[in-house]
Amino acid sequence: MLSNLAARDVETLIHPYTNLATFRETGSLVLERGHGVWVYDSDGRPYLEGMAGLWCTALGYSNEELVEAAREQMSRLPFTHLFSGRSHDPAIELAETLKELMPVPTSKIFFTSSGSEANDTQVKLTWYLNNALGRPTKKKIICHRKGYHGVTVATASMTGLPANHADWDLPLPGFLHTGCPHHYRFGEAGETEGAFAARLADELDALIQREGPDTVAAFVAEPILGAGGAIVPPAGYYAGIQAVLERYDVRFIADEVICGFGRLGTWFGAEAMGMRPDSLTFAKALTSGYMPLGGISIDEPLYREMVSQSAKLGTFGHGTTYSGHPVACAVALKTIAIYRRDGIVEGVAAKAPHFQARLSALADHPIVGEARGVGLIGGIEIVACKRTKRQYDPKAGVAARCVAFAQAEGLIVRFLAGDRIAVCPPLVIAPAEIDTLFDRLGRALDRTRAWIAAEGLAPVTPQGA
């Protein structure tokens, strides 16, 4: 029996990334308040928010400094825009601050309201750049299979997940996908991580040659693949990829929407993963999720062509109403100030060994095949047979069941395709809370194992399991 709020929710809202059929029976978890790493439902029950909301609430909930930053800006200048040369202090100061933080040479910052908008802008600017350079055929965008870059028509085409393409008439022509850098799932028998990384670099090279280097414009990649499964590429992977991209003059874009602003123990994931991109996409933790804000870095060669094209065409024909919203920019400035003052990024690096040790220990659980991460992010994969890595039928919803058991234990985590479970808590999580998180996740796995036995679930291919 659904509560009054949950019943009203079912009748009024469409929920993203939700099975809308089963949702009518299960209803929603209605949250009413939060503090630190804890959120509370409409019955007052606490949950440790093990996903930082949606990979974003880095400073936890109810941070009074962020609330006050928003209140003060709303009382002073609640809205203006950046169209036609207008501007405001928070956008200017935030752009200056971000230029200082960027791990790549940056001339300007362009603001959006989300990571999807930011990656969509990356595509448009890549096409715009190559038109300006007289390369009208150099337009194809390559991304990872199992990568995630958004849900607009263009960014859903970039995303390499079947659910984002099926019955959406996607991907659009000109969007290509190369091998997923997940050694556990896609490495060949006996293949080392180094050899796997080299093979994927060769596959990317072959893809570019097959398509024609004069048609391939950009490669877009997350430092760690987030919604595709919290997947960690092998050491040295991006060095090999970078060499291929440089060989064919292909623009390299790092999607830092999840990894940016401290998640991996560095300001940006590119630094932790050895990436040297031409541009970065960012969002989420920029405001600790308190306000919608995203953006991209603009390198000087791109900026010069943007200026040239504006002179030729009479305007720079791109932008959205809320790009650089003053309240969002004010909250972002305060968020970065707290990161710096409180040593949040350094704190992640200090807590990461404990977090990763507790995560890695889950690999010993009878139904866990892999448990791996970097910094304060990680993923585990549930398997039917640890030796063969065989999985359960996706229709059984094993990872979804585990997440439901975790919720019953007072922990919020997220299930992803391939029976993967992601863990991504607020960066301010304390060591004792890390232990609470993994204690509860361990109990959820135990309950899942018991449920599997009770249901008599078998691997997709039982032989040898």
Radius of gyration of the chain (CA): 22
pLDDT tier at 465 (50, 70, 90 boundaries)?
Answer: very low
At residue 26 the predicted structure's pLDDT band, cuts being 50, 70 and 90, is confident
Mean pLDDT of all residues in the chain?
96
How many domains does the structure of the chain reveal?
2
Pair (309, 425) in one structural domain? no
Which structural domain range is residue 371 located in? 4-62+343-455
Q: Give 362-386 pLDDT, tens digit per residue.
A: 999 999 999 999 999 999 999 999 9
Residue 428 domain-assigned? yes
* Residue 310 shares a structural domain with residue 366: no
Note whether residue 169 is domain-resident: yes
**Cα angle: 370, vertex 354, 418; to 5 degrees:** 20
User: Do 291 and 142 sit in the same domain of this protein?
Assistant: yes
Examine the domain organization and report whether 192 and 278 are in the same domain.
yes
- Stretch 268-294: mean pLDDT: 98
Residues 250 and 292 occupy one common structural domain? yes
What digits encode the pLDDT tens for the residues 391-442? 999 999 999 999 999 999 999 999 999 999 999 999 999 999 999 999 999 9
In a domain, 125, yes or no: yes
Strand arrangement, sheet containing 175-178: 108-112, 294-298, 279-282, 251-255, 216-221, 140-144, 175-178
CA angle 107, 374, 266 (to 5 degrees): 30
- CATH number for the domain that contains residue 297: 3.40.640.10
Residue 170 has pLDDT above 90, yes or no: yes
**Shared-domain flag, residues 54 and 189:** no
pLDDT of residue 464: 36
Based on the fold, state whether residues 266 and 395 are members of the same structural domain: no
Residues 293 and 219 in one domain: yes
Q: How confident is the model at residue 461 (pLDDT cuts 50, 70, 90)?
A: low
**Residue 130, pLDDT above cutoff 90:** yes
Q: Tens digits of per-residue pLDDT, 36-68?
A: 999 999 999 999 999 999 999 999 999 999 999
Question: Rounded to whole angstroms, how far apart are CA atoms 355 and 377?
Answer: 9
Same domain, residue pair 389 and 402: yes
Question: Are both 50 and 85 inside the same structural domain?
Answer: no
What are residue 287's phi and psi, to 5 degrees? -115, 15
Residue 430: both structure tokens together: 């304390």
- For the entire predicted model, the pTM comes to 0.95
Mean pLDDT over 22-30 rounds to: 88
Q: Are residues 311 and 181 in the same domain?
A: yes
182, 264, 226, 224: which is closest to 54 by C-alpha? Answer: 226
Specify if 73 maps to a domain. Answer: yes
> Does 119 lie in the same domain as 56?
no
Comparing CA positions, the residue from 20, 22, 39, 23 lying closest to residue 31 is 39
